[in-house]
Structure 1
Amino acid sequence: FVPSVRNLACCRAQVSLDKVCYTQRPRVADRCNTVHGPLHLLPLSLGGALRGGWAQTGWSMYVPPRITGLRGDSIVLPCTFAHPIPDYTGDIQVIWKPDIFQCMVSNSTQTGSFNNCTTGQGPSGRYRLAGDPRRHNLSLHIAGLRYKDSRQYMCRVVLLEDPKWAFEDKTGITLSVEARPSILNLTLLPGPLPVRVACTAEGIPVPNITWLGPAGIEVGQLQDTHGLWNQTTQVVSVSRIGTYTCRAENVHGRAESSVPVGPTGPPLLLIIILPAALLLLTALLLLGSRRLCGGPRAEWGGVPMALRGSQG
């Protein structure tokens, strides 16, 4: 490879006694990958540049720039590397930053039984090695993803026979934790028809809410309110008795919850039953007054009262 004037104009090489770093403008120095090691293992090359800008023959590391996981699920952060010591048989140290995980692996370690690892949450935390460093795989497994796991991660490898033999990716991998939609609350606000029904849902991306009325007919929303950064609330006004369904959807799935609307709440019950009860009470009072007033005047001892009075 013969660099041209144009290539030299957009690239620069930094060489020191223990570090080689290559960056591409407009990248700045703290975004390039760094490799430490003796100079006889570090011949400078301007070809084969990797993401992040380093171009060191023999040493390399790959991590994807971004990865997405779902809350509650597990995920593997990929990280693979290569080094210029093919016959290396010493211990290998794996470090994931920001200081959440480190592990030391030797040739005597059985595959899949890396028990001498420590994490930011103690020995039995949510992190474990998903790859085998002896096969150039530093991938990290994270269980039970949480929203706060959304951040940037960087992996580092150290060949412990010489602590200067180390490589770290400075650009890192950005983990974004998203979430399937879920309905947090479905509330029927009591009152006479029409009544209002409120539905609160969460998810990342924030879900869209659709209302379905009786027979699956879509109902237009009355009010749309965004609460927390991952929540939304929608209110509808309904005037028909029946079952109404709140449906929340985003790219990761769908959630539904239903509520019956009818003469079941206290205000509706009073409005419908109270007039009927008053009519019934009025009818009973009238019937009772007729029995008390009309019966005694009808007869007295088998003789009509009007006749009995005239005979006296």
Structure 2
Amino acid sequence: MATKIPGWNAAKPGISSKGWSMHVPSEVTGEIGKTVTLPCTFTHPHNTFDKTLTAIWRVKEPYNGTVVFQCVAHSSSDLCKATAGTKNRYKLLGNPRQNNLSLQIDSLAWNDSNRYFCRVEFSGDIHDKYESRMGLRLCLIGKGMLKPFFFKFPVAPPRIVNISVQTGQDHAFHARCTAEGEPLPTLTWTGPQSSNLTSVSSAVHQVTRELQHLAHDGKYTCTAVNSLGAAEGAVYFYKFKAGGSSWLLALLFVALGIKLLALVVILGVGACWKGDSFMVSNSLSRQPTRESPYENLSRRINSISQSLQERI
């Protein structure tokens, strides 16, 4: 239920404080990563209203809370155009002209857990504003979370969200493990001669433990435990060793050298074969043309007979 907020013009003719109401559930539960709908409907004392209408959703507190969504419709034929909360995660499902301000939130995250308040504003010839005073509570649960009737708050077994090996500013290798759960789980690292140097940081519903200065190759396991169960995640760490891999590099270079030498030999043989063929063809083309002995003899006889005739 909600009450009229300051700013309503009770003295305006034809306007009455009666007939205003807002209906929202006390609590809505959503799952992390999914979509949730926050229902909100209202009544007003006007038979019709086709002037500018504004729909608003706030968080934390009524009237002065942070606005997460707002849309404006200038006439009854216009859609309510979003002017705030335009991150594509908020969408007005209801039609404000039909007294429905229901809001949809996509891709839920832990920081969406809050108390939400819906509000409607009529402007133009009539200036009326109405907002839910108690609002509704959005409770979030993760995958595998349970919420039996006897729990006041959501509970969840632990779940490993992320596990990785990273290089820090000190150029050393560190293993990081992040887990979530309700109640917040306790994290421990195990591995080959694991170092006792760890650091812990926590956020809402999540905790991170970092295993610092990894020095030994092998499998490192992160275990998350709370009152509802346990979860494990593992990462494998192998440091690159230049001395141990030198023979591999040498073998690689030898193989490449052999291939290069074979290629040179093949190209050389091909070049020689082409050169010999060229020389043979040139020698054959350069051989002098031999005259027939019969042709030479006839030429001599003709020259002798010609000289005898000149003498006679």
When normalised by structure 1's length, the TM-score is 0.46
Q: TM-score, normalised by structure 2?
A: 0.46
